[in-house]
Structure 1
Amino acid sequence: MTLKSELEEWCSEVFRSAWEKREGQKVPDDDSKLGLKNEAIEIQGTVLYADMAASTDMVDTYTADFSAEIYKTFLYCAAKIVRSEGGAISAYDGDRIMAVFIGDSKNTRAVRAAMKIKWAVLHIVQPRMKAIYTKTDFVLTHVTGIDTSSLLVAKTGVRGANDLVWVGRAANHAAKLSSLSAGYTYISKDVYDVMNKSVKVSGDGNPMWESRTWTAMNNRPIYRSSWWWRID
């Protein structure tokens, strides 16, 4: 069989085959029993993307060693915080991390994780970087985007080199939210409406979020915040 005929046969089979779907009780991972054909797991999930800002300028301006240390410290802190809030890391993509939260209080936990990541960047990563690199003017900034929806999770790629693909509004919109102006956490109205008051209003009664209209996405209502959540 030629490569052309193999590709034609594969695509035709995918398009004509019915999907086999099952409801997920946990966040799917590489060990989930999914084949490369039309098999999928359905979950209700909240997706978080935490993305470094201006990473291209960083690698163009600073040494590879320094840039790698920034990547490592940012992604490590983000991953540990996500897990501490009960989230599952679904992907690392260069300078950003994707995580999924399911179950009770998934939106509150995702938002609190985002606010803790902001605190870690400001009060852990940046100060410890400056303690070593005393003459640098580099400032680490990032953006976090969060949305919630139903998600279809399937395996894609080829045997021996495959990954999971997350299909659903939350995965797409959370990623796009993380490309907005740096320094903020952005969440959809769907997340805001159901999250706990503890991540909406400060202890002294000040609102933590301001409403915005996402003009690039059909004027979808969203919220942004520059607040952080201290890690003890």
Structure 2
Amino acid sequence: MGLKEEIEAGIGGVLQPEWIIRNGHVVPDTADIALSNGAVRLEATYLYADMADSTGLAQGYKDWAAAKVIRSYLNASSRIIRARGGHIRSFDGDRVMGIFIGSTKNSDAVRAAMNISWAVSKVINPALQEKWESFKWSMGHGVGIDTGTAMLVRGGIHGENDIVSIGSAPNVAAKLSDIRGGKTINISAAVYNDLDQSTKFSEGTNMWSLMGSQTYGTKSVEYYGSSYSWTP
């Protein structure tokens, strides 16, 4: 079988079987979902943490230095997401995705986001300056969070596949993490409306500002922003 026939057969194998969907109560691992037609529906909150200006970093510094910087961001973000009850299921360059479930999933995700902001400003940037006195690039980042129903499936082929999250929440969270020039953390109104008092107010002051709305496809998403950080 040539590559042409292999591709045609592969697409047929994807499109023909009906999905076998189950409702999930835990974040599945890759092996928990059937590759051919398995799917898990999950009520979850998605967090995307995205390091800013990786292009400027890559263009201005040696690859070995840029790799240390990116790994620093992913290392701190991953530790925080896991410590706050999140499940990491995807890395994409300088970005990591966390999935939170349960009754406190929105507040847990926001705590993680504020911890990541603390780590960037109070740990990573000072450590970079201490290691390389001539290092002029300063790390910034953005976190996006949204909540809703997602369908988790496996994408790829046998031996080369991973979990893919389909739905508004993972898509909107990723888009909100890309917003620059405003607040460090951007969350959908659905997340904001479900926060507990400790993740909404600091000494009686609301940590969040209504930023406006973004339109993604046919959906308008109202969102709130904050640049507060939180020491773990």
Bucket of the pairwise TM-score, normalised by the shorter protein: over 0.9
User: C-alpha displacement at 1:187, in angstroms?
Assistant: 0.2
Q: Which residue of 2 aligns with 1:189?
A: 189
The letter for the 1-side match of 2:48 is Y
Give, in whole Å, the separation in 1 of the partners of 2:94 and 2:215: 23
**RMSD of equivalent CA atoms:** 1.4
Q: Which runs of 5+ in 2 are unaligned?
A: none
Identity within the alignment, %: 37
User: C-alpha displacement at 1:99, in angstroms?
Assistant: 0.6
Q: Which residue of 2 aligns with 1:156?
A: 155
Q: Secondary structure at the match of 1:31?
A: helix
User: C-alpha displacement at 1:212, in angstroms?
Assistant: 1.6
1:1-43: CA deviations, max 9, x gaps? 44333332332343232110111121112232x2221210111
The letter for the 2-side match of 1:10 is G
Give, in whole Å, the separation in 1 of the partners of 2:3 and 2:129: 53
Q: Is the 8 A contact 2:128 2:135 kept in 1?
A: no
Q: Which residue of 2 aligns with 1:138?
A: 137
1:24 aligns with 2:31: no
User: C-alpha displacement at 1:86, in angstroms?
Assistant: 0.5
Q: Secondary structure at the match of 1:194?
A: coil
The worse-fitting range, judged by mean Cα deviation, of 21-30 and 221-230 is 21-30
TM-score between both structures, scaled by the size of structure 2: 0.94
Give, in whole Å, the separation in 2 of the partners of 1:127 and 1:119: 12
Give, in whole Å, the separation in 1 of the partners of 2:142 and 2:131: 25
Q: Report the count of equivalent residues.
A: 229
Q: Which residue of 1 aligns with 2:229?
A: 228
The letter for the 2-side match of 1:170 is A
1:63 aligns with 2:66: no
Give, in whole Å, the separation in 2 of the partners of 1:212 and 1:29: 35
Q: Which residue of 2 aligns with 1:10?
A: 10
User: C-alpha displacement at 1:137, in angstroms?
Assistant: 1.5
The letter for the 2-side match of 1:108 is S
Structure-to-structure mapping, 1:205-216, within 5 angstroms: 205-216=204-215
Q: Which residue of 2 aligns with 1:201?
A: 201
CA separation of 1:53/1:103 partners in 2, compared to 1, >3 Å: closer, same or farther?
A: same
Give, in whole Å, the separation in 1 of the partners of 2:73 and 2:12: 43
Give, in whole Å, the separation in 2 of the partners of 1:215 and 1:106: 23
Q: Is the 8 A contact 2:19 2:37 kept in 1?
A: yes
Q: Which residue of 2 aligns with 1:76?
A: 75
TM-score between both structures, scaled by the size of structure 1: 0.94
Give, in whole Å, the separation in 2 of the partners of 1:77 and 1:138: 18
1:113 aligns with 2:112: yes
1:37 aligns with 2:36: yes
Structure-to-structure mapping, 1:166-185, within 5 angstroms: 166-181=165-180, 184-185=184-185
Q: Secondary structure at the match of 1:164?
A: strand
The letter for the 2-side match of 1:124 is V
1:42-94: CA deviations, max 9, x gaps? 11010000001110110000111211111111111000000110000111111
Q: Which runs of 5+ in 1 are unaligned?
A: none
Q: Which residue of 2 aligns with 1:147?
A: 146
Q: Is the 8 A contact 1:30 1:164 kept in 2?
A: yes
Q: Is the 8 A contact 1:213 1:219 kept in 2?
A: no
